[in-house]
A and B are shown apart, each in its own frame.
Chain A
Amino acid sequence: MPYLGSEDVVKELKKALCNPHIQADRLRYRNVIQRVIRYMTQGLDMSGVFMEMVKASATVDIVQKKLVYLYMCTYAPLKPDLALLAINTLCKDCSDPNPMVRGLALRSMCSLRMPGVQEYIQQPILNGLRDKASYVRRVAVLGCAKMHNLHGDSEVDGALVNELYSLLRDQDPIVVVNCLRSLEEILKQEGGVVINKPIAHHLLNRMSKLDQWGQAEVLNFLLRYQPRSEEELFDILNLLDSFLKSSSPGVVMGATKLFLILAKMFPHVQTDVLVRVKGPLLAACSSESRELCFVALCHVRQILHSLPGHFSSHYKKFFCSYSEPHYIKLQKVEVLCELVNDEDVQQVLEELRGYCTDVSADFAQAAIFAIGGIARTYTDQCVQILTELLGLRQEHITTVVVQTFRDLVWLCPQCTEAVCQALPGCEENIQDSEGKQALIWLLGVHGERIPNAPYVLEDFVENVKSETFPAVKMELLTALLRLFLSRPAECQDMLGRLLYYCIEEEKDMAVRDRGLFYYRLLLVGIDEVKRILCSPKSDPTLGLLEDPAERPVNSWASDFNTLVPVYGKAHWATISKCQGAERCDPELPKTSSFAASGPLIPEENKERVQELPDSGALMLVPNRQLTADYFEKTWLSLKVAHQQVLPWRGEFHPDTLQMALQVVNIQTIAMSRAGSRPWKAYLSAQDDTGCLFLTELLLEPGNSEMQISVKQNEARTETLNSFISVLETVIGTIEEIKS
């Protein structure tokens, strides 16, 4: 950071540091050094006094030493040649009688991060590993990892690795844990530190001596260990049992994960473990620290995906408190949504109802959407609440309620009547594009049941000139044409006006094209219009499929207690995807640390991403149009063979996707309307051997990726992989065209 006058400051400090009078007075000398560090902390470039600071390191005052070493570590990469001069002092300090000084010097020397330092630090590290003070051994062990990182990815020093493995038996618990950490770093190319039976058992026995960081770390390393027999497995579980009750949330989570992974063949053990961590997790959910509370809530949601009723009896714990931050409230609302059952639905809805009038518009809207979600199961009660909310005549509430209604009518046609009765009057309280679109769609599709529908639409037609959102105009065109079919007398005149406006005056090309298209369609004749516009008005099957199939615990156990549940799986996939892209970019320096982060992307995914689309082996047969009924039956009877997520940003036209899929002989069975959230599509394809591929595409609201689930009626991995790569190519191409 350039700073006005920093040169003068450097000059002055340099003079002071060289002044023999100051050097003679220890207190003054240290004060000058403190000033250097203070400026360094403030971001001034203090590298100009490097020589003088190196000299100051030769002191008996340990605080001064610390400051000088800190300075050296900061500026060594800038002044590598000068820093070499300091090595001498550091080496001398590495054999100081005071272990604190030895440790400090060794730690600083290993942190210099400049080329050429390796040859000097090797011997001090080796000495440090055999030091009698554990403080020095701790530093030396981590120093091995630092030295390895400095080398780049050069070969592994076998002798050093052996030495570290033998130090796993050290007296000092932190030395043991540091050994694991260090070995993991050094051996990351070979898959990290090996946990064999003797090591695993040794670590298990030392567990209670470790601090919470060590325990969490060891639990994480033990994930790698495969017990030989069932007996051994249960012995380990028994031994670790008490850690499920640890006071550190990190250890509890770590232990839970280990249990889930070790017991992956024993679903009842897994369920039992999840029952036992219920208490600690709930406690964390009401913990005073917001961040831990947030993390716990994310994990609760994860567990609920597999065990929907798991926390039902504790639903009151997820009621929001007034002062909680937004992110916690939103998570709690999501959790409440998933906990609903016949017994608590009344109370949960009552509570959510209270949130709908919260001062924060975002929170209120989230609560309304949540009620909309519950409405798929408990339709009548929810529609009633939502209708009451309309009575408040609040803009931000009305718009979301109408959007919820639109989705609900599509999924649960039985509530159409109630929704239609609630709609009149809403138009006065809707200003935003999303809300208007939803309202217009409802009026168009169910207009024959809403007496004043034509008049509401007429208002929109009157004001179409001042309408700012093209999407609203498009929706208006379609809706009015639909309504014209059922109530021609009332609509004919304004339809004419709207079409005239759209064709003659509208500037937006898409709206104009849509207008022209409808105009020409009307010219062809009313029967043709009916054939094209009278699509089904609801699709309850989508609502049925919406219910998450019970996902097995094993599908997320390996992600438990990482960042994945905290971000949300889908969001995480985009992050790691764009990280992956960055990694491949040759412009960027290779980040060695990234390679070590093994579990970032599941192994099989990584391969698939890199695989070039090769559809040579796969021959999809054209024109295998399945009926929707047959598709649904087959879909429900099969298991998901493959699931993955692709990045997907912004809006798009489903028709384009449908066309593109058609080209590669993938048929579209059903598809949500453009812009609806969640957006879904069901695809089918068949290859020349008669193997069926059924696919679901899903765009979640607010997420920028597409979830793909593929089911196959014959399990064959090669064809599945080629099918997926075909699908990926198509979706990738659309994504490119779009942007």
Chain B
Amino acid sequence: MSASAVFILDVKGKPLISRNYKGDVAMSKIEHFMPLLVQREEEGALAPLLSHGQVHFLWTKHSNLYLVATTSKNANASLVYSFLYKTIEVFCEYFKELEEESIRDNFVIVYELLDELMDFGFPQTTDSKILQEYITQQSNKLETGKSRVPPTVTNAVSWRSEGIKYKKNEVFIDVIESVNLLVNANGSVLLSEIVGTIKLKVFLSGMPELRLGLNDRVLFELTGRSKNKSVELEDVKFHQCVRLSRFDNDRTISFIPPDGDFELMSYRLSTQVKPLIWIESVIEKFSHSRVEITVKAKGQFKKQSVANGVEISVPVPSDADSPRFKTSVGSAKYVPERNVVIWSIKSFPGGKEYLMRAHFGLPSVEKEEVEGRPPIGVKFEIPYFTVSGIQVRYMKIIEKSGYQALPWVRYITQSGDYQLRTS
């Protein structure tokens, strides 16, 4: 991959900040970007890749900013996009939110970061934890001369610095499974998949060696324990720190972790599961007078589990008015700016069934533009439960100083892209 320059533009396409890495594409070319984008949008042919003459623009939008990489080479598209995302991620970690304001307020740091992230069009140090060791936000504090080189920049293990110390050595393991669901208007499940991630929060001193044991079916078959309950993982992906060769050989997940938060691994399960929260809805629209909505929600998971923070958003016509609700549990709220009713239920035990009715008035003059049919969306979180039944069997922590460290495990199932189409 090779990017010639990186630009951050405001909504109108005016460059807020830019960095010319290679100097082989004139910086003025960016002026063509916005007109091109607008033109393509009108033609209905907008794509994340635009070209003008011999310049290719690879762009992405984040809040009210456009991030654009220009290149004149036949670059590797997915890598350039990954770099732009990485840039966004780094900025977000520095400024909490990445938007026009934060770029304007922090232009010095932005310049510093752009300088370290890439050189001559090639990504260099992109790990925000390492960057944070030598580019700090308190730049108003004057440091005289002695700013040290963080050891990580020169370390063999590039993702962890040496000499980290904690009083209490702990690891928090979060096993999170998100359920993606797409249900047709007639109630048939079009798509149902589970994307699992294991996230770690590491507070460990020194250079610890970690080994994670899961009830992985392949591993159990290898070791002849196939009678035990196990899970078949698909598309397993690991953080850079995991020794892939060992996993391939004997399915051991061993690694030296980075400090703090990171995502250790992700996996996918495409086994069909019953939708955890099932919605049946009737949306009746009587033109010029009213809309009547009836939504039935059913928890199709174990009785012992409870779904928390359930939010069911039901679309309503944009010209609806005077909402009235009746719910058997929880509360409903009309959010006119998103054209939805949100029905929230704080805790929703498995096996239960609840009902909501909503009534809206419609103006007698019908508006002209046609509206789409947005789906019903559901958000929820079920703690102490995984759909797949994955389990952390052990987490071994070995450090040469021999300290005792405690691993904590937490299981959560949550909604991902959970949509039920309406007719």
Contacts and interface: CB of A to CB of B under 8 A. Distances in A.
Contact of A250 (B76, B134, B421): B76
Interface in A26-54: 26-27, 30, 34, 37-38, 41, 43
Interface string A578-609: 11001100000001111011011000000000
Contacts of B158: 173-174, 209, 211
Interface centre among B134, B142, B247 (most CB of A within 10 A): B142
Contact of A107 (B47, B73, B119, B245): B119
B60 interface: yes
**Chain A interface, DSSP helix/strand/loop, else mixed:** helix
A67 B142 contact: no
A492 B126 CA distance: 78
Contacts, number: 237
B95 interface: no
Interface stretch (B143-151, B200-208, B282-290, B323-331): B143-151
Interface in B115-173: 115, 119-120, 122-127, 134, 139-140, 142-149, 153-154, 156, 158
B235 A283 contact: yes
A435 interface: no
Nearest to B81: A291
B146 to A, nearest CB: 8
B144 A60 contact: yes
B217 interface: no
Given A37-B107, A98-B149, A279 B234 contact: yes
Interface in B41-72: 44-49, 51, 53-54, 56, 58, 60, 72
A600 B371 contact: no
A529 interface: no
Interface centre among A43, A62, A249 (most CB of B within 10 A): A62
A242 interface: yes
B79 A359 contact: no
Interface string A275-295: 000011001101001111011
A34 B120 contact: no
Contacts of A354: 185
B248 interface: yes
Interface in B324-365: none
B83 interface: yes
A327 B78 contact: no
Interface residues of A, number: 101
Given A27-B140, A174-B124, A247-B239, A135 B149 contact: yes
A139 B119 contact: yes
B111 to A, nearest CB: 6
Interface stretch (A82-90, A121-129, A313-321, A643-651): A313-321
Contacts of A178: 119, 122
B108 A591 contact: no
A146 B20 CA distance: 13
A322 B237 contact: no
B163 to A, nearest CB: 18
Interface string A219-233: 010000000000000
Interface stretch (A9-17, A190-198, A495-503, A557-565): A557-565
A193 B127 CA distance: 28
Contact of B374 (A211, A283, A322): A322
Contact of A279 (B56, B78, B268): B268
Interface string B214-245: 00000000000000000000111111100111
Interface string B362-379: 000000001111110000
A86 B81 CA distance: 36
A632 interface: no
B399 interface: no
Interface string A115-144: 000000000000000000111001100100
Contacts of B149: 98-100, 133, 135
A316 B115 CA distance: 43
B54 A591 contact: yes
Contact of B81 (A181, A292, A322, A360): A292
B235 A279 contact: yes
A181 B122 contact: yes
A208 interface: yes
B211 interface: no
B78 A561 contact: yes
A139 B124 CA distance: 10
B74 interface: yes
Given A34-B108, A142-B120, A174-B124, A579 B53 contact: yes
Nearest to A69: B115
A208 B225 CA distance: 31
Interface in A543-579: 561-564, 566-567, 575, 578-579
A245 interface: yes
Contacts of B81: 289, 291-292, 295
A68 B276 CA distance: 58
Contacts of B234: 279
B16 to A, nearest CB: 7
Interface string A285-329: 010011110111000000000000000000011010110011100
A597 B48 contact: no
A216 B77 contact: no
Contacts of A43: 15
A420 interface: no
Interface in A391-450: none
B36 interface: no
B235 A327 contact: no
A354 B184 CA distance: 10
B414 interface: no
B44 A63 contact: no
A135 B240 contact: no
B245 A242 contact: yes
A735 interface: no
B78 A172 contact: no
A700 interface: no
A493 interface: no
B319 interface: no
Interface string B15-43: 11100001111000000000000000000
B266 interface: yes
B266 A600 contact: no
A662 interface: no
A314 B399 CA distance: 45
B256 interface: no
Contacts of A284: 78
A90 to B, nearest CB: 15
B371 A359 contact: yes
A729 interface: no
B49 A216 contact: no
Nearest to B139: A63
A34 B374 CA distance: 48
Nearest to A38: B107
Interface of B: 1-2, 4, 15-17, 22-25, 44-49, 51, 53-54, 56, 58, 60, 72-79, 81-85, 107-108, 111-112, 115, 119-120, 122-127, 134, 139-140, 142-149, 153-154, 156, 158, 180, 182, 185, 190-191, 193, 195, 234-240, 243-245, 247-248, 266, 268, 370-375, 417, 419, 421
Given A286-B193, A582-B53, 20 more contacts: A107-B119, A181-B122, A209-B158, A213-B1, A213-B123, A217-B122, A243-B244, A249-B82, A289-B60, A289-B81, A292-B85, A295-B77, A295-B78, A321-B375, A561-B77, A563-B74, A566-B47, A593-B4, A593-B22, A593-B73
6 contacts: A98-B149, A216-B79, A286-B193, A359-B372, A561-B78, A563-B56
What 4 A-B pairs are tightest by C-beta distance, nearest first? A250-B79, A593-B24, A247-B237, A242-B244
